[in-house]
Structure 1
Amino acid sequence: MSTQAPHRTSTIGATLFLAIFAAYFLVPIWWLLMAATKTRSDLINSPGLWVADSVRLFGNISDLLERDGGVYARWMFNSLLYAGAGAAFGTLFATMAGYALAKYAFTGRDITFNTVLAGVLVPATALALPLFLMFSRVGAVDTYWSVLLPSMVSPFGVYLARIYAAASVPEEILEAARLDGSSEVRTFFTVSTRLMAPALVTIFLFQFVAVWNNFFLPLVMLQDQDLYPVTLGLYIWNSQITQDPTLQMLVITGALLSILPLILAFIGLQRYWRSGLAAGAVK
C-alpha cells in the first residue's frame, strides 16, 4: 500500500500536468474553430468557446476564397511551395551534410560542425536584412527564389542528422556495402537514409513548420502580394481591419484554414516516425 500510493499520486500529477499543457495549446485552436463559425456580430456579442445559433463556417470560407479575386488560395499555394520545397531540399541537404560530418574524417570537420552549431544559435530575424542585401545585389528580391533559397538551409537539421547518423548507421554496414562494390552515393541513398528515416521525418517536419510560420523573411523580401505566403497575407489583412471591419472574419477563417496543412503533415508522417523508432529499438 505504501509503495502504490506514491506511484498513484505521481501518475495523477503527471496526467494533470499534461492535461493543463494540452489545454493550453488546444484551447486557442478550439476558439479559432468556434470563431470561424460565427458572423462578426455574433463574435462581438458572444466571443465564447461555443458555436452561435447560426453556423456560418462555409459562408465565411466562401467569402474568404472570393476576396480580391481569390488571392487567399494563391497565398496558400505559395506557402505550400515555400514550405514543401524548402523542407524537402532542406532535409536532403541537411541529411547529406550531417551524414558526411558523422561518417567521414576530413580536415576541418570539427570546425565545420562548430560553425553549424553557431548557425543554430543565430535567430532567423537577424539574417533577414543581410539576405535582403545579398538578393538585391543579384536582382532576386520580390521573387520566389528570395524566400525559397534561404528556406533550404537548416543548421539544426544538419546537427540532428549528424547526431542520428553517428548513432544509427553502424560502420559495419557501410564496410559491407563497400565490399559489395556499392558506391558512397548509392550506399547513402539505399542504406543510410533508411536507417536514418526517423531523423529525416523529424528534420522535414521541423523545417516545414519553420518555413510555413516564417513571417519576417517574406515581409522583408516580397512586395508583390501574389508572392505572399499565407502568414504575410493574413498580417496585411489584419492591419487593415480598422479601415475594413469585414476583414476580421476573413482573417479568423484564414488562420483556421492555414493550420490544416500542418495538422495533415503531422498526421500523415507520424506513422513513418513511429515505425522508424520501433525499428531502431528492435535493432
Structure 2
Amino acid sequence: MGPVPSLWGIWFEADAWAAAFWPAAAALLCVAAVGYAVGVKRQRSCPPEAGPDQAVVAVRSRQILFYVGLLVVAFAILSPLDTLSQWLFSAHMIQHLLLLVVAPPLLVASAPLDPLWRAVPDRLRGAIVARGSRLTKFAAIRRVSMLLMSPWGALAVFAGTMWFWHIPGPYDLTLSNLYVHALEHTMFLAAGLLWWSRLINCPPLRAPLSTDTASMPATMIFLMATVAQNVVLAMVIGLATHPLYAPYAALAHRPAGLSALADQEWGAGFMWTLGDLPFSIALGRLWYLWLSSLEAEEEASVCHGVGGPQ
C-alpha cells in the first residue's frame, strides 16, 4: 500500500488527489451537473406555478442544494479521504456518513427529478416510458416497488444496507476490490436518497411522511427507529474487544499512530454522534412543530371560549 500517509499532510499533496481521482465517477457527477443545468434551463420556458419572484428564488435555492450535494459526493469518493479509508476505519466511516446522511438530504431537497428528466433527449425519454409501462404490468414488480417506496420499506433498505456492508466479510472485500468498493458507495447513496425522500418532498413526488399533526407520530417513530438501529450498530462495532476488520488489523502502522482497535472505536464514535445528528435535528424540528401546533390549538380554544356565545 506504500508508505503510511500523513493524516493532515495528505490533503496538501497533489499526488494524493490524483491517486484518489476515479474518471468514471467524476464523469457521472459531471453528467449529473450538466443535465441538471440543462433541465433547469428548460424548466424556465414553462410558466411557473408560483409568482415569478418566488419561482426564481426556489429554483436558485434548489440549484445551490443540488450542487452542494454533488460536491459532498465528490469529496467523499474523489478526495484523499478515499485514500485514507484504505488505512483507517474511521475515515471510511466518514465516507459512509457523507453518502448516507449529508449528500442525500441536500440532493432530495433540491427536487432534481424534473430537471434531470427534462434533460433526457425526447427519443430516449419515450423509450424509457415505454419500457417502464411494460414493467408496471407485472404485479410482482408493482408490489415490490410499493413496498420499497413505503417508509418502512425504505427504512429496511437503509438499515439493511448499513448492516450488510459492516459485516467483516463484505467490508473486507471493499478494501481489496475497487468495483466492490464502488458498489458499496453506490448502495449507500441510493439507500440514503430513498430514505430521505420518504421525509422530504421531492417534486413531483410527495413524501409519505409529513409534519402535520395527524402523521407526526408515525414520522417520529420512523426517525427514532432509524436512530436506534444506527446506535445499536455503532455499539456493536465500538464495544468490540478486538479489531473486526482484517485488513486494518494487518497493518503494522496507521496514520496518526492509531491502533486498529482505537481507530475502530473512533469510527463507531463518528457513526454514533455525527451519524445521528441529522436525524436528531429532524426530530427536534418535529418536536418544535408539535408543541407549536398544541399551543396554537390551545390559543384557538381559549379565544373561542372567550369570544363565543356564553
Assess same fold via TM > 0.5: no
TM-score, length basis structure 2: 0.31
| Structure of greater relative contact order (alpha carbons < 8 Å, 6+ residues apart) | 1
